[in-house]
C-alpha cells in the first residue's frame, strides 16, 4: 500500500510539473534554436477570403468589429464578411443588416432560434464560396494587415490552418485581468514554439484563425470548443497547423472571476468532448503529435485529478515528514485561495496572491466542466462573456 501511494504521488506531481514546466521549457528552448520567421515573404498569392463569425447580443462591439474588417488592406474584391446572428434580442441584427444593405462585402444571416456557435459556423462555411475561411468572434478587432499575415502561409499547399495571435488589453488591472493576460500570453508563446518545431499547434484560438475551406470538417452538434475540434480534425488528416504572432486581433480581457469561471467550464466540457473524439491522435503519430497532445493538453485537463490524487497519496503517507509537509503546503494554498476570494469580493487588489487564486479557479472550472460533461451536454448555446468592465 505504501509503495502504491508513493508511485501515485510522484506520478501525479510529475504530470503537473511536466505539463506546466518541463514541456513548455522543452518546446521553448528547442524552438529557439530552430526558430524561423513566422511570416514568410509576401508574394502575388491572393486567394478569396471569407471572414465568418457568430454573434449573440453583440451590439456593443459589432460596429467596431465590422469596421475593422472593412478597413483591411487585403484586396476588397477578395474579402467577404459573413455575420450569423444567433437569434439576438438586442440591436445586433439591426446593425448587421444596415452594413449588409450598404456594403455588398457584408452578408448577414439571422437564425430565428438559438443554434449555438458550432451550428452557425457550419452553416456559414457551407454557403461561402471563398478559398480561405477566417473564423473569428464578434469582439475580436482586426488590424489592417491581419488578413494578409494569414493568407501568405497558404501558398504552401501542406498548410491547412493558421492560428492568430490575440492581444489582450484592459483599462486597468482590476479583477483577474492581469492574471488571465499573463496566462494567455504564455499559451501564445507555447503555440509559437510548437509551430516552429513541428507545424502541429495544439489548438488555435476560436476568435482568430484561418483554414482552407477544403480542410474544414463540419462540427458535430452540441460541441463546445469548436476551434479545437477543427484543429484536431486537420491534424488527424496530416495537415500542417501553424501559429503566426503577426496575425493579430485585439480583445478586452475579462476581469470578472465568475465570468471567467463560466467560460473555462465551457472550455472544459469541450476539452473532454474532443478527447473522446480524438484520443487516437496519441498513437497515430506518437512523436511529435502524440507527445504534444498528451503534454500540452491532456495532462493540463487532468491537473485537478492529479492534484487530488497527490493529496490522497500524501495523506496515506503522512507519517513521513516530506508528505506531511506537502499536505501543509496544500492547506496553505487553499487558505490563500480563500483569502484571495475574500479580497476579490471586497474589490481589494491582492497582488501576487491573485495568481494563486486564479490557478486554483482554473482547475476548479476544469473539474466542474468534467462533471457537466459526464451528465451529458444538452445544449451549446452561449451568452457573451462580460467584458469592457
Q: Which three cell numbers stand for residue 130?
A: 471563398
First to last CA, the chain: 52
Cα–Cα distance for residue pair 179/354, rounded to 1 Å: 7
Q: Distances in Å between the alpha carbon of 98 and those of 25, 42, 70, 72?
A: 49, 35, 14, 19
pLDDT of residue 346: 80
Cα–Cα distance for residue pair 144/70, rounded to 1 Å: 9
Contact 247, 162 (CB under 8 A): yes
Contact 207, 251 (CB under 8 A): yes
Rounded to 5 degrees, what angle do the CA atoms 192, 74, 125 make?
75
Question: Strand, coil or helix: what is 59?
Answer: coil
3-state helix, strand, coil in the chain (%, to 5): 55, 15, 30
Cα 134 from chain centre: 15
Contact 116, 99 (CB under 8 A): no
Q: Distances in Å between the alpha carbon of 87 and those of 94, 98, 138, 382?
A: 12, 17, 15, 11
Q: What is the CATH number of the domain that holds 287?
A: 3.90.550.10
Number of domains present in the structure of the chain? 1
* pLDDT tens, N- to C-terminus, the chain (389 residues): 889 999 999 999 999 999 999 999 999 999 988 765 545 555 678 999 999 999 999 999 999 999 999 999 999 999 999 999 999 999 999 999 999 999 999 999 999 999 999 999 999 999 999 999 999 999 999 999 999 999 999 999 999 999 999 987 665 555 556 666 777 788 999 999 999 999 999 999 989 999 999 999 999 998 989 999 999 999 999 999 999 999 999 987 666 778 888 888 999 999 999 999 999 999 999 999 999 999 999 999 999 999 999 999 999 999 999 999 999 999 999 998 888 888 888 877 777 788 888 889 999 999 999 999 999 888 777 667 665 54
Whole-structure pTM value: 0.90
Strands 79-86 and 49-55: parallel
Q: Which three cell numbers stand for residue 6?
A: 508513493
Cα–Cα distance for residue pair 123/109, rounded to 1 Å: 10
Q: Which three cell numbers stand for residue 164?
A: 492568430
φ, ψ (nearest 5 deg) of residue 86: -90, 65
Question: Strand, coil or helix: what is 330?
Answer: helix
Residue 385: closest CA among 220, 230, 258: 258
Q: How many residues does the chain have?
A: 389
Q: Which domain holds residue 283?
A: 1-389
φ, ψ (nearest 5 deg) of residue 93: -65, -40
Q: Distances in Å between the alpha carbon of 235 and those of 188, 241, 285?
A: 19, 7, 10
Amino acid at each position: 500500500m505504501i509503495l502504491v501511494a508513493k508511485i501515485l504521488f510522484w506520478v501525479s506531481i510529475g504530470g503537473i510539473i511536466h505539463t506546466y514546466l518541463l514541456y513548455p521549457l522543452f518546446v521553448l528552448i528547442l524552438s529557439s534554436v530552430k526558430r524561423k520567421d513566422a511570416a514568410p515573404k509576401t508574394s502575388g498569392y491572393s486567394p478569396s477570403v471569407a471572414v465568418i463569425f457568430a454573434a449573440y447580443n453583440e451590439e456593443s462591439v459589432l460596429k467596431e468589429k465590422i469596421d475593422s474588417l472593412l478597413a483591411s488592406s487585403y484586396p476588397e474584391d477578395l474579402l467577404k464578411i459573413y455575420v450569423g446572428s444567433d437569434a439576438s434580442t438586442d440591436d445586433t441584427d439591426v446593425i448587421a443588416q444596415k452594413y449588409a444593405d450598404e456594403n455588398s462585402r457584408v452578408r448577414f444571416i439571422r437564425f430565428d432560434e438559438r443554434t449555438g456557435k458550432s451550428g452557425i459556423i457550419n452553416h456559414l462555411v457551407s454557403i461561402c464560396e471563398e478559398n480561405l475561411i477566417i473564423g473569428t468572434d464578434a469582439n475580436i478587432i482586426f488590424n489592417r494587415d491581419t488578413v494578409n499575415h494569414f493568407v501568405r502561409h497558404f501558398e504552401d499547399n501542406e498548410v491547412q490552418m493558421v492560428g492568430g495571435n490575440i492581444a489582450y488589453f484592459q483599462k486597468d488591472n482590476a479583477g483577474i485581468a492581469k492574471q488571465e493576460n499573463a496566462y494567455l500570453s504564455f499559451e501564445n508563446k507555447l503555440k509559437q514554439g510548437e509551430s516552429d518545431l513541428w507545424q502541429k499547434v495544439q489548438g488555435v484560438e476560436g476568435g482568430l484563425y484561418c483554414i482552407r475551406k477544403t480542410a474544414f470538417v463540419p462540427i458535430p452538434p452540441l460541441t463546445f470548443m469548436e476551434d479545437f475540434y477543427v484543429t484536431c480534425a486537420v491534424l488527424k488528416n496530416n495537415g500542417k497547423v501553424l501559429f503566426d504572432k503577426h496575425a493579430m486581433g485585439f480583445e478586452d480581457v475579462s476581469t470578472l472571476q465568475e465570468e471567467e469561471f463560466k467560460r473555462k467550464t465551457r472550455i472544459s466540457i469541450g476539452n473532454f468532448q474532443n478527447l473522446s473524439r480524438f484520443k487516437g491522435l496519441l498513437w497515430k503519430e506518437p512523436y511529435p503529435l502524440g507527445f504534444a497532445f498528451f503534454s500540452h493538453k491532456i495532462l493540463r485537463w487532468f491537473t485537478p485529478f492529479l492534484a487530488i490524487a497527490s493529496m490522497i497519496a500524501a495523506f496515506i503517507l503522512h507519517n513521513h515528514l516530506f508528505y506531511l509537509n506537502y499536505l501543509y503546503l496544500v492547506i496553505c494554498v487553499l487558505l490563500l485561495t480563500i483569502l484571495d476570494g475574500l479580497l476579490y469580493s471586497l474589490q481589494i487588489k491582492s497582488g501576487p496572491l491573485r495568481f494563486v487564486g486564479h490557478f486554483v479557479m482554473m482547475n476548479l472550472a476544469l473539474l466542474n466542466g468534467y462533471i457537466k460533461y459526464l451528465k451529458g451536454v444538452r445544449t451549446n448555446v452561449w451568452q457573451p462573456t462580460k467584458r469592457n468592465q
